[in-house]
Homo-oligomer: A and B are copies of this chain.
Amino acid sequence: MRYEFYYWPSIQGRGEFIRLALEEAGADYVDVARRGKAGVASMMELMTGRRQARPPYAPPFLKTGETIVAQTANVLLFLGPRLKLAPRDEAGRLWAHQLQLTISDLVDEIHDTHHPVSSWLYFEEQRPAARRRTRDFWRYRVPKYLGYFERVLKKNGGRFILGRRLSYVDLSLFQIVEGLRYAFPKRMRRFERKIPGLVALRDRIARRPRIAAYLASPRRTPFSQWGIYRYFKELDA
């Protein structure tokens, strides 16, 4: 099965959660918008074209045959059983998806630390608000979210977040840890002693041969100042 993957070509963003799943599975996929202007144009066409009966609201989305699936967690719900990265039974699929949707909520909150007031303002125009948001994020939200995932991981034996084998949720948790390390290196270093299970999970994922090869390849977009995770020294007090 060939997958066409569509996402903004220059950022990791939400698309990265899907890329990690495709890469771990060794799936046959094309990162369409990375193929230059024509790729981005065809992405826009699928979103706005008149012929699209079911247009995505925004990237990332996946096309396979005539089916287009959008919304990050929904794409993973679709891919999970196909890539053998999720349980096949309904209860297991819903549980994986529920965890993934909780990760999506966390991702939104991570983004809002540097742009709380408006995405139409520069960071420099919303500094005091970003500082306050970041303070509360690390005081209340990070402990609640990561504490939850640490607890769920432990309940499941500590090796995988669910079931007895790797799922796309494990890969997404890897990306959460990596991103928080990039955006908040000092804060994260202090916090990590509270989430030993997640840190060990992150390490195991990083060592998986396909993930390691992907991370070392040009297919992995580097972290930057334009994605979900951005580094501002003053927010990492």
Contact = CB atoms under 8 A, between A and B. Distances in A.
B140 A120 contact: yes
B155 A53 contact: yes
A102 B57 contact: yes
Interface in A44-92: 53-57, 67, 69-71, 73-74, 77-78, 91
- State the oligomeric state as a number of copies: 2
A24 to B, nearest CB: 22
Given A116-B116, A140-B120, A101 B133 contact: no
Interface residues of A, number: 40
Nearest to A56: B98
B98 A74 contact: yes
Interface string A123-156: 0001001001100100010000100100110011
A97 interface: yes
B98 A69 contact: yes
Interface string A151-166: 1100110000000000
